Amino acid sequence: METNRIAKWLKDINGWLNPPGCESSIVSHPLHDSGCCTVGIVHEHRFAFYFWGLYSIDKDSPHAALISIDAHDDVGVTGEVIPDDLDNLNIRNRTELGLFAWLRLRSLNDGHILPALYLNFFSDVYVLLNDREDSAAFKTARTEQQQRDGNGRIHTVKFYQNSEKLLYDLPPDCPVFLDIDLDYFAVDNPNAGSVLGSENLIPDAEIRSTLSINGPLLGPILNKIVGLTIALEPKYCGGLVNSLHVLDILNQELFDSTLCTNSCKWKKAANP
């Protein structure tokens, strides 16, 4: 690899390039006309870090909390937080931020939350893991951990399998950055021996209930949302067809099928 030539390509970029496999839409706030937020769609979950970083540049006070809905624990471990890398990352340079998400975060897409906390992107993190499998294992796993950011502040990550408990613990006046990994709606296929890429989806009615803009999970936080990232992760959804099927349901339930159009808007809530 000719590093000098690649360095020249990077210097010659006009404007910026979004990372590979990423799309975005700018939408007004779900319930009022003041302000707007970005909806970032990523193929691999670690690229959500790119949109989180962009949000952190322009965020208002108070700090938003991250709610991450996922089938897996993508928080990472303390040893994966490399201060030298993170302290020298210029998050205001979109190309550098995108390259960092691609090349320096874990390629298994399970270690991007702690680095985000080290950079103070969010106040705290609330992770909702699905309760369809491994419930016994969850009860013996960590339910809370902490990460110190580069300025010495402590951030807390809490894990849940119950959305009611998560919402109860969420500070009442805290803005929310919502992160949804579509593999949350996938389950192992027992007929395929739990082989990666063979997963089945849960029934559409259950997916719609979770993603409903008026539902028990999203309804209570709708007025707090300041950003949204969506991870397709087709390898963990049982394939691209399954992943795009869930994305289509999300698009219907949250955006009236306008996502990534020039008229993207939140679906109107029945009881704002």
pLDDT at 137: 52
pLDDT at 85: 92
pLDDT at 192: 67
pLDDT at 121: 95
Count CB atoms within 10 A of the CB of residue 184: 24
| 228 membership: H or E segment, kind and range | strand 225-231
Count CB atoms within 10 A of the CB of residue 32: 9
pLDDT in tens, 190-222: 776 667 777 889 999 999 999 999 999 999 999
pLDDT at 1: 61
pLDDT at 193: 65
Distances (CA, A) of 14 to 54, 94, 165: 18, 11, 47
> Which residues of the chain fall below pLDDT 50?
140, 272
- Residue 243 and residue 201 in contact, taking contact as beta carbons nearer than 8 Å: no
Q: Which of 40, 92, 54 is nearest to 231 (CA)?
A: 40
pLDDT at 22: 93
pTM above 0.85, yes or no: yes
pLDDT at 134: 56
The 3-class secondary structure across 25-58, one letter per residue, is: EEEECCCCCCCEEEEEEECCHHHHHHHHHHHHHH
Cα gap 204→249, rounded to integer Å: 8
Residues in Cβ contact with 47 at an 8 Å cutoff, skipping those fewer than 6 apart:
19, 20, 21, 22, 98, 101, 102, 231
pLDDT at 153: 94
Q: Which of 124, 134, 184 is nearest to 154 (CA)?
A: 124
**Sequence letter at residue 36:** C
